Amino acid sequence: MGDIPDAPGIEDLDQLYPDVDDDVTVELELLPQPPPPSALPALGPPPKRKKKGKGLLIVAVLLFFCSAGAIGYGLYTMGHIPL
């Protein structure tokens, strides 16, 4: 494939881009200061979390047993589980 040529370095930039001026300055506007914490409105009480209860547990257990049954049925129909 051949040798990889050296890439130009920082010392070569003046030869590659002679028309670029280094004296360019950019003026940025300052952002306004945020208000002090004492000027902010008070926070309300934290929202109450809803308890998911036993419904999620029942769905998870049902999903587990349905998956196990489907896998068992698939293995039985393929002949891997003789009864």
List, for residues 34-56, the tens digit of each pLDDT value: 889 888 888 889 888 877 678 88
Q: pTM of this prediction?
A: 0.38
Residue 59 lies in a domain: yes
Asked if residue 5 has pLDDT above 90, the reply is no
Residue 35 lies in a domain: no
* Number of folded domains that form the chain: 1
Residue ranges making up the domain that contains 76: 53-83
Residue 5 lies in a domain: no
DSSP for 25-66? ----PPPPPPPPGGGSPPP-PPPPPPP-HHHHHHHHHHHHHH
Residue 64 lies in a domain: yes
Residue 65 lies in a domain: yes
Asked if residue 83 has pLDDT above 80, the reply is no
Q: Is the dihedral of CA 64, 66, 72, 78 positive or negative?
A: negative
Residue-wise pLDDT tens digits, 61-75: 999 999 999 999 999
